[in-house]
Amino acid sequence: MKASDVRAMTLDQLDDEVLKLKKEQFNLRFQRATGQLENTSRTRIIRRDIARMKTIAGQKRAGTPEAKAAATPSTKKKTKSVRPATAKSKARAKGNKPNKSKKQGA
């Protein structure tokens, strides 16, 4: 189930759907134990749907802006951050090895 579909549900509907998915997950575990499970990927889908619904329900209960902001797509582009150059990285860029301290004496 898509997150946008889940966000359209009320808290009561979410709780009912989570309960239904938990029962299905229980039945799938029994099928796997008895060797009757044919579609093994279904367990992964159910587990992720439960987590998705619990996350969105928690956001709705808390009234956080993530629940609202996640529903609207962002138009910002991510830019790659540039690290400041250090003496070592400058030396490597030139092809030189960085200076190592030499032992004095001996």
Give the SS3 label for residue 59: helix
Inter-residue contact 52 to 1 (CB < 8 Å): yes
User: How does DSSP classify residue 71?
Assistant: T
What pLDDT sits at residue 86?
73
Question: CA-to-CA distance for 83 and 102, rounded, in angstroms?
Answer: 29
Going along the chain from its start, the domains and CATH numbers come out as: 3-69 (1.10.287.310)
What pLDDT sits at residue 68?
59
User: How does DSSP classify residue 63?
Assistant: T
Confidence of residue 79 (pLDDT cuts 50, 70, 90): low
Query: And the tokens for 65?
Result: 């802006």
pTM of this prediction? 0.59
User: Of 10, 3, 9, which Cα lies nearest the Cα of 49?
Assistant: 3
